[in-house]
């Protein structure tokens, strides 16, 4: 099993920045060989892909809607994945979830939610105009 705990959400004005963190733990998984992703879900909408990072070479993939504004990164020494969010817009308002795919190949950046086996509980991000 894998436990994921997000933090860093909050209320911010448009144009501001937030950094989300996700701490991973679990007795039987190897964080350094796990692909990681961030998704978000606004009220009444589906959970959408935001960004993913592979476990080898730190390949990254970002959704077009956040490209150039958000950056995913990971720290294997801390078993953590981050999402740096800059130039936030009101449409970025959502609950943000981190997710882990323990079966991904070394350079894979999974972008579909069904590929992830483990999820955090989410953290709210609200961007005011």
Render pLDDT for 4-46 as a digit per residue (tens, 0 to 9).
Answer: 999 999 999 999 999 999 999 998 889 999 999 999 999 999 9
What's the pLDDT score for residue 27?
A: 85
With contact defined as beta carbons under 8 Å apart, do 38 and 50 qualify? yes
Residues 87 and 69 sit within 8 Å (Cβ to Cβ) = yes
6 touches 14 (CB < 8 A):
no
* DSSP SS3 for 95: strand
User: Ramachandran region of residue 46, left (φ > 0), alpha (ψ -120 to 50) or beta?
Assistant: beta
Nearest Cα to Cα of residue 60 among 69, 71, 76: 71
């Amino acid at each position: 099993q894998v436990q994921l705990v997000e933090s860093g959400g909050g209320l911010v004005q448009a144009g501001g920045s937030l950094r989300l963190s996700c701490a991973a733990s679990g007795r039987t998984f190897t964080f350094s060989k796990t692909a990681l992703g961030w998704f978000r879900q606004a009220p009444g909408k589906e959970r959408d892909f935001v960004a993913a990072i592979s476990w080898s070479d730190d390949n990254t993939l970002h959704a077009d809607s956040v490209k150039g504004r958000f950056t995913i990164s990971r720290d294997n020494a801390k078993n953590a994945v981050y999402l740096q969010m800059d130039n936030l817009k009101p449409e970025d308002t959502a609950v943000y979830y981190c997710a882990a795919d323990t079966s991904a190949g070394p350079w894979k950046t999974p972008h579909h939610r069904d590929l992830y086996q483990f999820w955090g509980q989410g953290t709210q991000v609200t961007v005011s105009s």
